[in-house]
Structure 1
């Protein structure tokens, strides 16, 4: 049992205090203007984002249950998933990927070293320039919708009705890119000012909109799946409108005016170019899966979608949450020229994602069929759909830890405004993913595509970590050996317990919904209690993960 004298706010047990220095400790002062970002505890901020994201993910699962019940894994569902994935992919690539990773470090530097007026000028120029570019891109994409549908789902060309439906949906879903990118801009500003809850809660509106559209617009549509496309468009408007009042309250609501010559805008554009392939490589790989899956039997796109959605739950709640809070914190540390605390933050982030990522991946693999049956085996879904989706879910679960590691390792580069290194690593990972796709699609069909994505993610994460180590940016703190056996023992206990106690998945098919939910809840809750009880017995405490950003 540790004494109070030796406790430290990190899982390493060397007695080193990780609390960040204040401006009075020799770090540059915060922006002189009113409303400069304040320091926040990373654990507390991470928990806030996790809770908000959990709410969004739970509603996301409810959304997918609704879609699965009404449309199953048929042609209409396949068409919508492709039509939604294209702008959603570009959102993650540009808005939450390249733009966010380029914008937040520059904004953090302005907030730390510049005046309030200069910060406002940057926000005006960036918002105006972003709006012009995205408006032109959106208009062009809507005109070229039939060609884009064929480009991203060439396998649909054998079914002209399915391809035409995808194109019609795309004309409604693509404006979502413009709206959600402006929402991501607003969220980046709020995150930099440590207002994490609002951006994390915003995706809830997408799920509510799609559920409402599926239930109430579907009966009104001549082509029922088109209701889902309208739901996406409505969600884009609602999400942007939701964040505007919070920006105004901070006095940071911009007056958009395009200024591509502005020094900050030019720096962001320079950083964005390489960043397009940096942190968003996993999204590109998932999109390539969709393209290849369109050539497989009908339903393959939907099987990958449903299994990916389950993996996105722990990835979003924990991996992306830690990545969200760590980027502005690392950017501030870099602006303050504090490499020691920068390294300790990265070490903290790695331990935090492994704490949840390892047991989550194991649980998804062991409980693949029960999870899919409990959530999706209603209405148009069939037993074969469950079996096929379980194959790809296990393949994606294998890469869950790697997906999480990418989310916390990539900010180690972006916070230092290095976007070239991640793009080089990203290109290697993409090439590997394509080679693995071609090697695995024949023997494993859609599950081979998921497995290829997971293996490529490990390559990506490994190279990111190796690069940070070589540059002396990632310095492992004492205690990793002990931490490894603590987590390893907990995972063995969890895996064996779930495997032993879970009934055969065929039995789940005959149960009613409440019986499924009850048994699944008992398994999950029991697994969580057993895992964290083991960690507590081994000496891990919540205070070990407290760290100031």
Structure 2
């Protein structure tokens, strides 16, 4: 399987979701602004998403995909399907009990992470109780996505997040009053979006000839093996998600609007992260797992090296462009209605700092499959614990003098520390190292990226005022920044030899959808 082709399929469809997400955030910024109702919604949205990353995308995929691929190769489709049903039989009731338990203790938990009281606590609890069933739904989506990704059918899983964004977008279009009413409508749309995603993935599995039956929960040997792998991964993901709760804890204490500023900035930051990082991480895990299982360790390392090259080719310019153009981009996209110039300033400040950690976060997506493919989920746990301790210390040190900028810096620095530790461990074990060819390409990519930054600064200065002007002026300013950056970076990285030219042609060439991508 071609890594560039797989990444392009996943990344292209993820882009559809991100565009819908941008439209959603643009409407939300104007309808809800960055006040107490928006803060309450983002806390309600963040909670199930945090546990989704804990139970679903991170830990579950890390444990399920390699084991499913292993059974697919050794025992065929029947054995892999039986393993999936056994896991589902235990996974589903666990999710149901967890969801019900959290619905009961929700007021206490929201108070613990936000410090809210009175009406704000009541409204935040109300919204979170509406959104929390999304956890159950999206965790099941992760199971079906893992099955489809293991058989190289990436389309449905990559497109599914667009349904969530579309559901929320429809809610905002239909309910424009603002305040409690709009926030409640968008919260309800989160759970509706989860239902739509699950329906799409189940239908895609059915088209692939995979229909899972509900079995009686039983700790079979396959389930025990899955638990042995997934529990350390869950602990590792849990450490990271604790840092998310810690960030929320500090954000709510920085002041009203801080939660919203961070989330609006994260929306822009998540565009390259989702399109590049998630796509590459999803594409390489099955490939690395297959090579490791048959003893082709050099090939596994080659796949990771190729992924790192492709990731930085796309991520370095995105990170540098976001850091250099944060303020005009935020003003052009979000400012208006209830989203004030002050909101735009603090959102832009947050984005300009957080974006500097983007390359590290994407590289972590490339490095962790090197552990998961070898059934080693304990090492990332230890790494995550060390990074969590540093992140907490940085929050305490940087937030008092720098406010939300200090929190953003803590996030970026922690990402780089996590990346560095994981790489050093893989290097010492002989599993992966940055070869000379890769280092040479990375240096050339960085040189092209810095040249692009100079051009972006000139564009910013030449179009001062356009980013806060009419819709047409904002559109021209945004297109000038994005188009100008690409027009400089990609030709320059081509001339400097910062990438495999054939791979870049494949990435940029329009391709018909693959028949087996369903």
Instruction: Name the TM tier (shorter chain).
Output: over 0.9
Secondary structure, counterpart of 2:299 in structure 1: helix
1:187 maps to 2:148: no
Quote how far apart the aligned CAs of 1:543 are: 2.0
Task: Decide whether aligned partners of structure 1 residues 398 and 458 sit closer, same or farther in structure 2, where only a CA change above 3 A counts.
Answer: same
Quote how far apart the aligned CAs of 1:238 are: 0.7
Q: 2:252 aligns with which of 294, 297, 300?
A: 294
2:137, 2:195 within 8 Å by CA — same for their partners in 1?
yes
Q: 2:200 aligns with which of 233, 236, 242?
A: 242
For residues 348-390 of structure 1, give each alpha carbon's deviation from its aligned partner in whole angstroms, at most 9, with x where no partner exists. 1111111112111110011101110111102100111011111
Quote how far apart the aligned CAs of 1:203 are: 0.3
Quote how far apart the aligned CAs of 1:530 are: 1.1
After TM superposition, list the pairs within 5 Å mapping 1:80-229 onto structure 2.
Answer: 80-154=41-115, 156-157=116-117, 160-217=118-175, 223-229=181-187
Q: How many pairs were matched up?
A: 505
2:145, 2:201 within 8 Å by CA — same for their partners in 1?
yes
* Alignment-derived partner of residue 396 in structure 1: 354
Quote how far apart the aligned CAs of 1:140 are: 1.0
Quote how far apart the aligned CAs of 1:421 are: 0.5
* Alignment-derived partner of residue 265 in structure 1: 223
After TM superposition, list the pairs within 5 Å mapping 1:408-447 onto structure 2.
Answer: 408-447=366-405
For residues 216 and 290 of structure 2, the distance between their equivalents in structure 1, rounded to whole angstroms, comes to 27
Task: Decide whether aligned partners of structure 1 residues 510 and 261 sit closer, same or farther in structure 2, where only a CA change above 3 A counts.
Answer: closer
For residues 409-439 of structure 1, give each alpha carbon's deviation from its aligned partner in whole angstroms, at most 9, with x where no partner exists. 1111011110011100010000100000000
Q: 2:469 aligns with which of 503, 511, 534?
A: 511
Secondary structure, counterpart of 1:418 in structure 2: coil
For residues 392 and 116 of structure 1, the distance between their equivalents in structure 2, rounded to whole angstroms, comes to 47
For residues 249 and 68 of structure 2, the distance between their equivalents in structure 1, rounded to whole angstroms, comes to 36
List alignment gaps of at least 5 residues for structure 2. 508-518
1:205, 1:235 within 8 Å by CA — same for their partners in 2?
yes
For residues 223 and 64 of structure 1, the distance between their equivalents in structure 2, rounded to whole angstroms, comes to 17
* Alignment-derived partner of residue 75 in structure 1: 36
Q: Larger deviation: 128-137 or 287-296?
A: 287-296
Task: Decide whether aligned partners of structure 1 residues 218 and 520 sit closer, same or farther in structure 2, where only a CA change above 3 A counts.
Answer: closer
Quote how far apart the aligned CAs of 1:282 are: 5.0
For residues 171-220 of structure 1, give each alpha carbon's deviation from its aligned partner in whole angstroms, at most 9, with x where no partner exists. 11010000010011111110001001110000000000001112214559
Instruction: Point out the structure with the larger helix share.
Output: 2
After TM superposition, list the pairs within 5 Å mapping 1:287-436 onto structure 2.
Answer: 287-436=245-394
After TM superposition, list the pairs within 5 Å mapping 1:474-513 onto structure 2.
Answer: 474-503=432-461, 507-508=465-466, 510-513=468-471
1:218, 1:227 within 8 Å by CA — same for their partners in 2?
no
Once superposed, what is the RMSD of the aligned Cα atoms?
A: 1.9
For residues 114 and 205 of structure 1, the distance between their equivalents in structure 2, rounded to whole angstroms, comes to 35
Task: Decide whether aligned partners of structure 1 residues 396 and 284 sit closer, same or farther in structure 2, where only a CA change above 3 A counts.
Answer: farther
* Alignment-derived partner of residue 45 in structure 1: 6
2:66, 2:373 within 8 Å by CA — same for their partners in 1?
yes
* Alignment-derived partner of residue 31 in structure 1: none
For residues 195 and 216 of structure 1, the distance between their equivalents in structure 2, rounded to whole angstroms, comes to 34
Quote how far apart the aligned CAs of 1:491 are: 1.2
Q: TM-score, normalised by structure 1?
A: 0.89
Q: TM-score, normalised by structure 2?
A: 0.94
Q: 1:473 aligns with which of 427, 431, 439?
A: 431
For residues 238 and 462 of structure 2, the distance between their equivalents in structure 1, rounded to whole angstroms, comes to 37
2:130, 2:188 within 8 Å by CA — same for their partners in 1?
yes
* Alignment-derived partner of residue 252 in structure 1: 210
Quote how far apart the aligned CAs of 1:276 are: 2.0
Quote how far apart the aligned CAs of 1:481 are: 4.2
Task: Decide whether aligned partners of structure 1 residues 500 and 103 sit closer, same or farther in structure 2, where only a CA change above 3 A counts.
Answer: same
Secondary structure, counterpart of 1:251 in structure 2: coil
Task: Decide whether aligned partners of structure 1 residues 258 and 214 sit closer, same or farther in structure 2, where only a CA change above 3 A counts.
Answer: farther
For residues 500 and 510 of structure 1, the distance between their equivalents in structure 2, rounded to whole angstroms, comes to 17
2:423, 2:433 within 8 Å by CA — same for their partners in 1?
no
For residues 404 and 337 of structure 2, the distance between their equivalents in structure 1, rounded to whole angstroms, comes to 23
Structure with more relative contact order (C-alpha pairs < 8 Å, separation 6 or more): 1
Task: Decide whether aligned partners of structure 1 residues 101 and 506 sit closer, same or farther in structure 2, where only a CA change above 3 A counts.
Answer: same
For residues 217 and 291 of structure 2, the distance between their equivalents in structure 1, rounded to whole angstroms, comes to 28
List alignment gaps of at least 5 residues for structure 1. 1-39
